[in-house]
Amino acid sequence: MKTSRLFLAITCLIAAGIVTPIVDNLAAAGEGDGVTAPFSATTITVRNDSEFREAVRRAQPGMVIRIQSGQYKSDVWIENLHGRQDAPIVIEGADPQNPPVFVGGSTGWQISEGSYIILRHLHFRGQKVNGLNIDDGGSFDTPAHHIRLEHIVVEDVGPVGNCDGIKLSGVTDFVVVNCRVEGWGGQAIDMVGCHRGVIERCLFKGKKGFSQDTGPQAKGGSTQIVIRQCRFVDAAKRCVQLGGSTGLAFFRPQGVLYEAKDLLVEDCLFVGGEAAVSFVGVDGAVFRHNTIIRPQVWVARILQETREPGFVPSRNGFFERNLIVFRSDLRDFVNVGPYTAPETFRFAENWWFCEDRPAASRPRLPSPESEGVYGQDPRLRQVDEDRWVVENPAARDFGVRQNP
């Protein structure tokens, strides 16, 4: 069967050390293991800026801080906030249907050197630099860790330049789930030197007037990041960026010779955007079971932006079991830049359909594809702005395996 041969190929890559088995490593994080609020927690409800900031200043492991609905000031600085594995610190909106809104300012919240923290049901809007910033405080040997973000909304950040919805620098063992980022300047989620993270069931939606360079981006030595069951609607120039361009001083750890390694994107829906995925200075990444609808310029890009001595060329990407519906005015299928190793990329069992010229469905790819499907209409039907269903039974094993 085709699928079994595909999984055998992946297993061979794992055995060769090209792609490590990151899904199993991150399954527990996806369920929140180790970052779950205890049953016997001290709960404090706050109603204004001063009460909130005082509660955060006094927070101890096991405390739950609930913020009443309303509008609050941004530029909240939180430092050395540490829960425990059995007693995380929880900061949440008191009413999930009407979360508190942190408006304006430079950055909504900046959390430096934190651990075992859960943030949920919070809204950030109109920041100039970053909506939510979590980092290691510049101390690379003590990363922020065990951070969980749930039902966070970030919108209207920037609008142009290196202004991120969510910025994570030196963060390990983290989960971002059921969040929405809409309208930003640089990256929707910017990960620099981050490890063992899961981004799932999130919505990334572009807005007119915002530059939106990339959606989620993992770079600066990042490893073992999974992006799954997310939706991208006219999201960015590069909807998902695997790798990137980072100054050498900001790599975590120092001295690695790749921007990112061992990344996985699966079961995501991409509608519009210039390119669904960009592999940039990456050393091993899998892009599988994704549905791509009407990309504007390219389907994928293979690029190299960090060209320091010894850096690996962008290599060892897997593009498989994806469902791609495009139009004949696409500039190209895969944009390949200089100093890359496109011959190391594997294309397997993708379904390609050019909706205005079915005869033009077979793509030009940088390496041969095995067992692709060309020119057959998957009969996609839109049921919502970010929901599509496949009505051709033969195509249901391609693209998103379950509508995220």
- Per DSSP, the residues of 142-186 read S-EEEEEEEEEEEE---SSSS-EEEEEESEEEEEEES-EEES-SS
Query: Position of tokens 């001063």?
Result: 50
pLDDT-derived band of residue 36, with 50, 70 and 90 as boundaries?
low
Is 25's pLDDT higher than 80?
A: no
d(CA 379, CA 325): 10
pLDDT per residue over 125-175, tens digit each?
A: 999 999 999 999 999 889 999 999 999 999 999 999 999 999 999 999 999
d(CA 129, CA 165): 8
Consecutive H or E run containing 42: strand 42-46
- CA nearest neighbour of 231 among 204, 198, 213, 258: 204
Burial class (CB in 10 A: 0-12, 13-18, 19+), 341: middle
Residues 42-60, mean pLDDT to the nearest whole number:
97
- Per DSSP, the residues of 185-248 read SSEEEEEES-EEEEEES-EEE--TT----EEEEEETTEEEEEEES-EEES--SEEEEEE----G
d(CA 92, CA 59): 13
Q: Which two tokens stand for residue 45?
A: 């409800």
Residue 385 pLDDT: 83
pLDDT per residue over 311-365, tens digit each?
A: 999 999 999 999 999 999 999 999 999 999 999 999 999 999 999 999 999 999 9
d(CA 292, CA 206): 16
Consecutive H or E run containing 261: strand 260-266
Which has the higher per-residue pLDDT, 323 or 35?
323
pLDDT per residue over 364-400, tens digit each?
A: 999 999 999 999 999 999 998 889 999 999 999 999 9
d(CA 141, CA 253): 8
